[in-house]
Structure 1
């Protein structure tokens, strides 16, 4: 039988083992990163040939660029949501308590690492820019990306934090079921 506190009925170990667990959040972030890489590779392998064979000319592809961009953005958002849900689930499952908090930790670690990589990219500049050496098409007017990029950023942040916290709560559910089974 699980020992419970008399005042709130929660398991006693919560004071000692509850709270934020950096190890669980880190491994959850690793899972989120791995799942996003695998899902993006799968989506690219499936979507690339389909999109490439859908248009007979470059003119058709150019006229459908807006639709292609919106669909790609939605798919990217879904992939990130699934990845952060999986990462939050792992963190919540690794922790005994506070699954939502562990999911939030996964998201925070991902955000901090993304910011660090962006800063490193800005500081190193074009010194290590391999893509500039390739003859790839560029964005016609980078200034027109302002509002769309901001909306996309906010959407990605909100969806991923909610997915990570929901995954953490789902991972914590296992421990709650065990507690109920022991109490019964």
Structure 2
């Protein structure tokens, strides 16, 4: 053994503690963990979608009220109502109709965002479920209204949208408006779900 030479400690490679971000194996481990978590917790989350739908309804009522207050402040004498707009689109002006459509987009975007934020995976699917719940509730309320009377149609008592069901006489404009409403709210809810899911992706990257 040579004098003056410091002996290097022997390190057992199998006992080395892997530090996150140290090498490519960290990414492999993370991807494996994500796959396991997705298999266990991924897919449809009905609870998150339900609360997302509640948020969408609440935002619709809130934003419609704000819009009505603004319309009154600027001297608009007509009624700002989603139900009235769907029953008779000609009863509201073009500007009000566009504003109400934007309200629905924001409301369902918010509902999708909440559902995606509550679910770690499949944010777009959670937003889709928010939209499906809204559609199912609309159909059920309409059926109850037909069978039991209009007094049992809950959607007529609060100013929330009847997705896909134009009120009043069925016209070409009403059908086109219903299709635009369906597609617009669907895309808004799915986009909100995807954005809400990004929070979990940022947390995963920080760990």
RMSD: 2.6
Larger-gyration structure (1/2): 2
Structure 1's unaligned 5+ residue stretches are 54-64, 132-141
Say which of 61, 75, 95 aligns to 2:99.
75
Matched pairs, number:
157
**Matched position secondary structure for 1:97:** coil
How many Å apart are 1:66 and its aligned residue?
5.5
TM-score, normalization by structure 1: 0.76
Is 1:179 the equivalent of 2:200? no
CA shift digits 1:59-116 (9 cap, x unpaired): xxxxxx9594322221111001000000000000000100000000100001100111
Structure 2's unaligned 5+ residue stretches are 1-19, 21-25, 79-88, 157-167
TM-score, normalization by structure 2: 0.68
Aligned equivalents of 1:97, 1:5: Cα separation in 2: 14
CA shift digits 1:102-144 (9 cap, x unpaired): 0001000011001111122222345679x9xxxxxxxxxx65x
Contact (CA 8 Å) 1:103, 1:168: kept in 2 or not?
A: yes
Is 1:4 the equivalent of 2:30? yes
* Residues 16-27 of structure 1 mapped to structure 2, 5 A cutoff: 16-27=40-51
Is 1:157 the equivalent of 2:182? yes
Is 1:94 the equivalent of 2:118? yes
